[in-house]
Amino acid sequence: MTDNHQAIPYAYLIPLPTETFSRSIRLNPGVSTIGRSQSNTIYLSHGSASRNHARISLIDGQYVLSDLKSQNGTYVNKKRIKNISLKHNDQIVLGDRSFLFSLKDPEHDEPDLIYISSEDTVSLQKDGIQLPDMIERKAENAAQTFLDPNKGRKKISAKKTVEAHSRLLLLYQLSDKLRYIKKADEILSMGIDLIFGAFPSAERGVAMLRSSTKDPLEAHIVKYRHKKPRGDAIPVSQTIINKVIKEKLALVSRDALEDSRFESGSSIVVHNLTSIICVPLISGKRVIGVLHLDTSQILDAFTQNDLEFAAAVANEMAITIDNSRLQQEAVQNERMAAIGLTITNVAHNIKNLQHINKGVEELMSMHLSDIADEKIQETWQLLRNYLKQIKNLSDNMLNFTRVHPVKLELIDINSMVLKYRDFFKQKLTGKGNKLVVDIDPNLTKWMMDESGLKRALHNLVVNAYDAVKEKDNGRITLSTFIDPQNHLNIGVSDNGCGIEPDRVNNVFQLFFTTKGTKGSGLGLPMVQRFVESLGGTITVKSKVDEGTTFNLNFPWIEGN
């Protein structure tokens, strides 16, 4: 007799990041509840999870994830959901906990390709050991040779011709897909996916970007063909990276098979026995990033043909990323102009109403002062607080649209920070919180708009206080130092609540706030505009429950 029942599809939740010691969780057939209450099937101890956060149900052979009206929401692949059918390799975020949904047993099956975006995955190496050499080519020429495989070659085999045409088709497909992608990380992920598919021997890859030629490279996407070993970091040669960026070169480890096209190519020494490809991401005349690949499969090492394909893919990614940035800047500029005009009109109307409200408020306070009703007094005080918030919001709106003239003068930055230390301490500390100053004693005077810097620091310190005020032994640190590029750096750090990873990149957006109704979403955009008006940059790093650091970086202005 035939058994018509289908096998029950087991599924697993794999805690992320995958290198943690947490084991995968098997989802039993039926219903699995998830939350902070210990009565749930899956218990999450972190406070960011609701008591009854979500539910996973097996319905008609399909696992369905449902949010149970949780406070912080349930996300699948970075999108907030209410109900969704799960697919293999979906990424689930519940509060501050992340999981990978898998239909394979991670304890027995070969792990899938893994993406990691972490500074700890790349180790910049200083070279000094003589090992195999590398062949270099101008990146533009390498990419062009791939697009025209017969150019400059005496003869090309039928096998190489088929391979070249196959890869050219892949590149066309990538170009078509990238037209609809706007985020840099998605563009990089798609490009590395393509390369790993074309290079079966590729074991590790890292794509690095920088915002400008003055900024350092940052690892955005790191990919492993196999599961990342705990504590492993990809060694990347500092000499190679510098050469690729400065000279716009595409580099590949020299293969045992010689290629006449590279007979005149020069070579440099590298530090390990792996086969390496390193190509720049060039847009126009600027290098905006670097793509680095390696493999330990020396018998299937990278070839010059692989280098040309990687250079062509890098070129496609660079153009797409740069075009996306330009489009975003254009949209942002138009949006800011329209918003500025709207804000000015709205703020002035609110100001006019406030003049009327002020008289009414004073008259009401005078009449209510004789009424000994605690409930009425509490309600009236609440209304006055709301009126004050409206006034502060309109003041901030007008301040944002107002063009503050930049007045540059040589000032002692350390003295200014120390001068306002006592002011900040009196206004902002409490419950054992501390304001600490860590200044560079060798810092010289700097050309600066003092009033603008005061406003910027005030905004940042107030934000830091809001982050630590509910915490015992909170700590706010003001720091100054000069970096190797001879830039002035002023930091404001706290050990407060931190900002969620999916929100930290939005803090400089107009009207975005993490304070709910207590924030206007104008403070940080004003700080950013001030810093950029002096040719500087502002960056933020944050971890939930550990704290946040804002760093203001000012270049040495000509004429100092």
How confident is the model over 332-342, as pLDDT tens digits? Answer: 555 555 555 56
Find the CATH number of the domain harbouring 527. 3.30.565.10
Write down which residue in 282, 305, 322 finishes a domain: 322
Instruction: Please check whether residues 173 and 303 belong to one and the same domain.
Output: yes
Instruction: Please check whether residues 338 and 387 belong to one and the same domain.
Output: yes
The neighbouring-strand residues paired with 358 are none
Instruction: Please check whether residues 292 and 206 belong to one and the same domain.
Output: yes
DSSP letters of 364-391? Answer: HHHHHTT---HHHHHHHHHHHHHHHHHH
Q: What per-residue confidence (pLDDT) applies to 353?
A: 61
User: Does residue 364 fall inside a structural domain?
Assistant: yes
User: Does residue 154 fall inside a structural domain?
Assistant: no
Find the CATH number of the domain harbouring 174. 3.30.450.40
Q: What per-residue confidence (pLDDT) applies to 20?
A: 40
Angstrom distances, CA of residue 245 to CA of 127, 262, 324, 425: 17, 21, 21, 46
**H/E stretch holding 458:** helix 450-468
Is the separation of the CB atoms in 416 and 450 below 8 Å?
Answer: yes
Instruction: Please check whether residues 414 and 435 belong to one and the same domain.
Output: yes
Read off the pLDDT of each residue in 4-20 and give the average, rounded to a whole number.
Answer: 62
Residue 267: pLDDT over 50: no
Tokens representing 376 are 């009425």
User: Does residue 474 fall inside a structural domain?
Assistant: yes
Is the separation of the CB atoms in 85 and 9 below 8 Å?
Answer: no
Amino acid at site 246: K
Read off the pLDDT of each residue in 248-260 and give the average, rounded to a whole number.
Answer: 64
DSSP letters of 460-502? Answer: HHHHHHHHHTTSTT-EEEEEEEE-TTS-EEEEEEE-SS---TT
Domain count across the chain? 4
Instruction: Please check whether residues 291 and 368 belong to one and the same domain.
Output: no
Return the half-sphere exposure (C-beta side, CA atoms, 13 A cut-off) of residue 171: 20
Read off the pLDDT of each residue in 173-199 and give the average, rounded to a whole number.
Answer: 84
Q: What per-residue confidence (pLDDT) applies to 218?
A: 83
User: Does residue 202 fall inside a structural domain?
Assistant: yes
Is the separation of the CB atoms in 219 and 183 below 8 Å?
Answer: no
Read off the pLDDT of each residue in 65-75 and give the average, rounded to a whole number.
Answer: 92
Mean model confidence pLDDT for the chain: 76
Q: What per-residue confidence (pLDDT) applies to 5?
A: 36
Residue 306: pLDDT over 60: yes
User: Does residue 113 fall inside a structural domain?
Assistant: no
Instruction: Please check whether residues 489 and 346 belong to one and the same domain.
Output: no
Q: What per-residue confidence (pLDDT) applies to 491?
A: 92
Q: What per-residue confidence (pLDDT) applies to 351?
A: 60
Write down which residue in 322, 342, 359 finishes a domain: 322
> What is the domain extent for residue 350?
329-401
